[in-house]
Amino acid sequence: MCGTAAVAAGMLLVGACTQDAGTTGTAISQTPAGLDTPTVSTPQPASLQEYAATLRSALRRMDKPLKDLRKAGKYKGLAGRVAPVEEAAVEAAAMLRDITPPPELAGRHPRLLTALEEFHKTVGVVERQVKGRDLCTGPAVWADLGEADATDELRDALREVTAVLPGKRPGLALPPAGHKFSSRPSNGTFIRSSGLGGRGGLTIDNGSGDAVVTLVRGGSPRISVYVRRGGTYTVRGISDGTYRIYFASGSAWDPKNRSFGRDCRFQRFEESLRFQTVYTATQIRWSNWRITLHPVLGGQARTRSVDPGAFPN
């Protein structure tokens, strides 16, 4: 009878038989070699002092971008001040994610990480609002961030964490809540008036939003006047010359930057206006013009959008 072989559960069985009847076969077994058991090391939690040092370094990443944003003024370059704040918040969260918190912060550390992540998402939304010209000045951006839920949560999470830390507590100058914008200027308020001193007149009929009309001569803004929505105002005493007429519209007037903080749009009339005074032996004649800042039936004046960086300020 021929032999048989079988493999089962890691054991090799080899059976053999001889021609002699009654002879019992032999069995050889082989036990598999032992397997190494992997060891898993558990990260040791940081001490409170080590955690404080890491947190201080993480917040320092955000400090300068926030200060730069706090100093931002007009629209030009504003988006470039917002983006570094978002990037710094991502970096700060990554630094804190790499540390195992001490037992005293086991419940507070995750809240801080979540708050940082929500804050950077909120700053990203603000950046898109700047690019869409929903937010148009540094103070408007600062005010919006100050009122954001994510900023409030980050303030609370930082306060909760630093309350446990020894020594001088790390801090971060976040935008405060409760910013108040200045009141709207009254209809006919002059923002600048260096172009007055002549006899010319310009009547401005405004539409559905507040606006600032600027007269530019020789490449320099000479007259700017605030006209409230639905209002009419006549500028008198315009000096002779040819002027390009620009106008900005929006809300949340920022007197320091002489710009609208929100919903800003910038336009100009395609045709210039010439103001001229003519003297004769018996009379004096001068130019009076009228413009509307909204479409009207039969109107022929065309306007075009202007890049914010090219708008006269």
| Angstrom distance (rounded) from CA 276 to CA 238 | 9
- Report, as an integer, the average pLDDT of 178-188: 89
pLDDT given at position 84 = 98
In this structure, are residues 186 and 214 in contact, taking their beta carbons and an 8 Å threshold? no
Among 46, 141, 156, smallest CA distance to 95 is for 46
Integer Cα distance of 160 and 101 in angstroms: 14
- What stretch of H or E contains 156? helix 149-162
pLDDT, tens digit, 9 for 90 and up, residues 107-135: 999 999 999 999 999 999 999 999 999 99
Asked, for residue 200, whether it belongs to a domain, the answer is: yes
Query: With bands split at pLDDT 50, 70 and 90, how would you rate the model's confidence at 309?
Result: confident
114 with 73, same domain: the answer is yes
For residue 102, what pLDDT is reported? 95
**Is 60 exceeded by the pLDDT of residue 31?**
no
Q: Are residues 26 and 53 in the same domain?
A: no
**Token pair in block for residue 29:** 């077994």
Q: Flag whether 121 is in a domain.
A: yes
pLDDT of the residue at 298: 60
Tell me which DSSP letter residue 139 carries.
Answer: H
Per-residue pLDDT, 35: 52
- Tell me the three state secondary structure of residue 143: helix
Residue 11 lies in a domain: yes
For residues 123 and 13, state if they share a domain: no
pLDDT in tens, 137-179: 999 999 999 999 999 999 999 999 999 999 888 999 999 998 8
Residues 142 and 52 in one domain: yes
The pLDDT of 295-307, averaged and rounded, is: 79
120 and 65 fall within a common domain: yes
- What's the number of CA atoms in the CB half-sphere (13 Å) around residue 295? 2
Sheet holding 288-292, edge to edge: 232-238, 196-205, 288-292
**pLDDT at position 22 over 50:** no
Overall number of domains in the chain: 3
243 three-state secondary structure: strand
pLDDT of 30 strictly over 80: no
Shared domain for 133 and 222, answered yes or no, is no
The answer to the question of residue 181 being in a domain is no
Task: Name the residue range of residue 9's domain.
Answer: 1-30
- Site of tokens 């890691």: 10
195 and 306 both lie in a single domain? yes
Q: Is the pLDDT of residue 294 over 60?
A: yes
- Are residues 153 and 200 both part of a single domain? no
Alpha-carbon distance of 188 to 280, in angstroms, equals 32
Instruction: Check residue 17 and report its DSSP letter.
Output: -
Residue 67 lies in a domain: yes
End-to-end CA distance of the chain: 108
Above pLDDT 70, what percent of the chain? 85
Euclidean distance between CA atoms 233 and 187, whole angstroms: 7
Whether residues 154 and 109 share a domain: the answer is yes
Residue 184 belongs to some domain of the structure: no
Report, as an integer, the average pLDDT of 204-220: 96
CATH number, domain at 207?
A: 2.60.40.10
At 20, is the pLDDT very low, low, confident or very high (cuts 50, 70, 90)? very low
pLDDT higher than threshold 50 for residue 71: yes
How far apart (Å, rounded) are the C-alpha atoms in residues 261 and 256?
11
The answer, yes or no, to whether residue 230 has pLDDT greater than 70, is: yes
Is the pLDDT at 25 greater than 50? The verdict is no
222 and 121, same structural domain? no
Residue 56 clears pLDDT 80, i.e. is over it: yes
Residue with tokens 């929500």: 118
- The whole-angstrom separation of Cα 108 and Cα 140 is 32
Residue 72 vs residue 195, higher pLDDT: 72
The pLDDT of residue 6 is above 60? no
Same domain, 120 and 62: yes
Residue 167 in any domain: the answer is: no
Q: Using CA of residue 66, residue 71, residue 77, residue 79, what is the dihedral sign?
A: positive
Q: Are residues 305 and 203 in the same domain?
A: yes
* 178 inside domain: no
**What's the confidence (pLDDT) of residue 26?**
40
